[in-house]
Amino acid sequence: MTRPSTQVATAAARPSAAADQALAPVGAKTRRGSVVLPSLLSGVLMALSVPPWGFWPLAFAGGALFWWRLGGLGPRSRLLAGWALGLGLFLPGLWWATSFNVYGGIVLIVIESLLAPGVAALVTPPGAGRSVALPGAMVLGEAIRSHWPFGGLPMGSIALGQAASPLAACARLGGPLLVIGVTWLVGIALGALAVTGARRWLGRRAPIDPAAGAVSTAAAATGAIAVGGSTVPGSAAVAPAVTSRRTGLVAVTAVVVGIAVVLGATLAPAGGPTVGEIRVAAVQGGGRRGVSHIYVSPATVFDAQLAATAMIGAVDRGRPPTLVLWPEDVVALPGPLSDSQAKPVLAELARRHHASMVVGVTEDVGAAHFRNEAVAFSPSGSVIGHYEKVHRVPFGEYIPYRSFFSHLANLSAVPRNAIPGHGDGVLRVPGAVLGTMISFEVFFPDRGRDPVVHGADLLVVPTNTSSYATSQVPTQEVAADQLQAIAEGRYLVQAAPSGYSDVVTPHGAVLQRSVLGRRQVLVADVGLRHGLTVFARLGEVPTELAAGFFVAAGWLLWWRRRRTATEPWGWRPATAR
């Protein structure tokens, strides 16, 4: 059997080859700009899906574009593409970090971009199999970013952008990681549809050389077409086969995503029925935003909270709350609460309102440390519990490797390191068991899950985002509240000194949200639930294992296709460096 000529094969496949060439994401020699620019645009589209912008469908467009761009790239180009994707996502999404230190914030963004999307793109196969592996790789990348370095930084995640979309219901099954995976699946399916449609359209419009008619017949008889400058036998139906595979990919993705959304939204346990109700007041003292706490007197913040608490009777419609929630660190003390003048004042407030109170307290411990706690008072004014923050904010509440970083930046804004807590977040008050997350912790799914599996029937979040001048971090925190409420099947109440304070249902609906900077009190009747969602029972491990399986399956598929493509002519697909 003689090998058909390249010229004959090329003529036979000219219409579909022209379409493929027009849409090919990469050639044998790839210009760096053709890798960086589409990937950067993909990241920007995803960033615009995240609050404060919140155009959540753009995440799918970004995923589709990046999936196409990744096709055919070699290892170095894939790493570069993923890094560019991360920069497009995190430059806008984490820019708030530069308000603490410009150079440190930029370095943080660069590293986060490389560690998560960059490495995830690197471990994704370049050709066949990337549609399977890419969602899993991105899930694993986000899982790593949420735990390392310095305890993780899950802010800026595309899951936050889906908090108001139908995909948010998937959090009840697998938490934010599953939301990320499903988001990428939808993007890849849309990308496959777009490429298939474009190839068909370009194929119909491609000119056919009349002189090629005779050789086309010969090529059809031998069943050969040209691929990457070589011929592949028995491949006359490659283009239809590719189209068929992409159509199948879209169909399978639609089924998987549909099942996940339906299960999460309707069939999966949503925390069980409401077994009780409690009236809660979230107290927001108000004040100027964008000012560091070191420039604001603790007495000013405390007095603002007292003034706002006095407004409860004017907004509770004659039905006083049984729980009053104050924000994080609005009671800043040079020593223990037990020895302070603030304790009798807070006790008297609880007695006056006949309500339990949860108050954010910071206590200096020597010259180098402090505690960040939520302290619970009973309606009789006695202290009945406290929870110490577990997930501290790196470079905000503590400086890792302080002696090293002190040579690189001015660390005077963080003179003391917060002492890490070790509790489960449970605070028991009359009428409710509270699952407490302090500020930054609401971005970590395990900090909501831990108290719920230990009996919490309501989630509360004392927080403080006053040092951020823009709405970026407060809006991302509201999105994190929504995902936590959905994942755990609980109502959630948040209180912040200058906003956002909010009330969220177990289905992620924001019932009330305050105005930034305004002195305000939110009063709401919230339900208590004892049931467990799938995520509360199993956590993130099943999602992480599934993601690993997707990556392995993608590489196996790539290997099998590569092996098939090399036989019997030894052809290998051209990839960029």
Extract the runs of DSSP E, i.e. beta strands, from 339-496: 356-365, 369-377, 383-388, 417-418, 426-429, 432-436, 458-462, 492-495
- List pLDDT tens digits, range 229-264: 334 434 444 455 555 565 566 656 666 677 777 666
368 contacts 341 by C-beta, under 8 angstroms: no
CA distance 388 to 370: 11
- List pLDDT tens digits, range 174-195: 999 999 999 999 999 889 888 8
Mean pLDDT of 279-294: 90
DSSP of 304-344, one letter per residue? HHHHHHTTHHHHSTT---SEEE--TT-EEESS-GGGSSHHH
For 431, other C-beta atoms within 10 Å of its C-beta total 17
Mean pLDDT of 206-217: 45
Give CA separation, 380 vs 31, 350, 353, 366, in Å: 71, 7, 10, 31
Alpha carbon of residue 70 to chain centroid: 21
**Residue 9: its pLDDT value, please?**
41
Taking every pair of Cα atoms in the chain, the longest distance, rounded to a whole number of angstroms, is 98
Q: Taking each helix axis as running N to C, give the angle between helix 130-145 and helix 541-565, from 0 to 180 degrees, rounded to the nearest 10.
A: 140
Asked if the model's pLDDT at residue 522 lies above 70, the reply is yes
Phi and psi at 323, nearest 5°, equal -140, 130
Asked if the model's pLDDT at residue 543 lies above 70, the reply is yes
Alpha carbon of residue 429 to chain centroid: 32
Extract the runs of DSSP E, i.e. beta strands, from 326-468: 331-333, 356-365, 369-377, 383-388, 417-418, 426-429, 432-436, 458-462
Q: Which CATH code fits 274-532?
A: 3.60.110.10
Tokens 């927001």 sit on residue? 284
- Going by C-alpha positions, the residue among 459, 395, 387, 461 that lies closest to residue 425 is 387
Phi and psi at 398, nearest 5°, equal -160, 155
**Residue 249: its pLDDT value, please?**
60
Mean pLDDT of 205-217: 46
User: pTM value?
Assistant: 0.87
Asked if the model's pLDDT at residue 213 lies above 60, the reply is no
Asked if the model's pLDDT at residue 292 lies above 80, the reply is no
CA distance 398 to 403: 12
**Residue 268: its pLDDT value, please?**
67
**Residue 198: its pLDDT value, please?**
83
**Residue 202: its pLDDT value, please?**
78
Q: Which residues have CB under 8 Å from 98's CB, separation 6+?
A: 104, 105, 106
Residue count (the chain): 577
First-last CA distance in the chain: 35
CA distance 66 to 191: 9
Query: Can you list the alpha helix ranges (DSSP code H) found in 114-212?
Result: 119-122, 130-145, 158-161, 171-205
Please compute, for residue 554, the number of CA atoms within 13 A of its CA located in the half-sphere on the CB side: 24
Q: Which residues have CB under 8 Å from 408's CB, separation 6+?
A: 103, 104
343 contacts 312 by C-beta, under 8 angstroms: no
pLDDT band at 410 (very low <50, low <70, confident <90, very high): confident
Mean pLDDT of 46-61: 97
Rg of the chain, C-alpha, whole Å: 28
* DSSP state letter for 276: E
Domain boundaries, given as residue ranges, for the chain: 31-205+237-268+540-565, 274-532
Asked if the model's pLDDT at residue 480 lies above 60, the reply is yes
